[in-house]
Amino acid sequence: MSSSGSTRVARLVGCVVAASAAAAALAAPPKHAADEVQRGKYIVRTAGCNDCHTPGYAQTAGKVAEEKWLVGSPLGWRGPWGTTYASNLRLSVWSMSEDKWVKHARLERRPPMPWFNVRDMSERDVRAIYRYIRSLGPAGDPAPAWVPSERAPGGPYVQFPAPPK
Ligand code: HEC
């Protein structure tokens, strides 16, 4: 093979390596699975998921043991949408695959779930959240079901005013 021929081959190999590295980066597979779990924990903490999905978290400035995180809450959020309850995410992530959950987590929900924040997160971040919550293992019971607006909720609830006109 001539020297220019082998240079061409070397360039071609270089391109293939670069292209597959770019494809891998686009798919964003975690280089280290443990890193993605830690990233998920960081996002959960800073994006406020515990504030509603972990009983007592907001009231104690986060002094809740990690094994009790995200088990859902019996505190109702009552407004024109009826009364909603922050769900048990520890059970939610065990009820479906990662791909399915990533789509599910971005769907529109009733207030005060900030579903639009999750919708606007990168796919990598939503996947990291899933992996972190899975790493905690399943725990707790399902949160109470949504109560329609004409019915009064049985347990404690926070009353929201009607949205501003
Ligand atoms: C202000 C309170 C609040 C915060 C903060 C919050 N949620 Fe929620 N979340 C709720 C409520 C209430 C529901 C139930 C909504 C409904 O009934 O439609 C819910 C429902 C969900 C659901 C659908 C039900 C399920 O279990 O699969 C997912 C997924 C979810 N939240 C994920 C998150 C994630 C991830 C975060 C952090 C980025 C978060 N939530 C932050 C209140 C909250």
Ligand 1, atom 14, residue with closest C-alpha = 86
> pLDDT tens, 44-103?
999 999 999 999 999 999 999 999 999 999 999 999 999 999 999 999 999 999 999 999
Ligand 1, atom 30, residue with closest C-alpha = 105
Query: For 62-135, where are the E strands, in sequence order?
Result: 76-79, 82-85
Does residue 1 carry a pLDDT above 50?
no
Integer CA distances (angstroms), 131 to 2, 30, 88, 96, 100, in order: 51, 11, 15, 12, 13
Q: What ligand 1 atom has the least distance to the C-alpha of 146?
A: 17
Ligand 1 probe mutation, 50, 83, 87, most atoms within 8 A of CB: 87
> pLDDT tens, 140-162?
999 999 999 999 999 999 999 88
Average pLDDT, the chain: 88
What values do phi and psi take at 76, rounded to 5? -85, 150
Q: Does the predicted model carry a pTM greater than 0.75?
A: yes
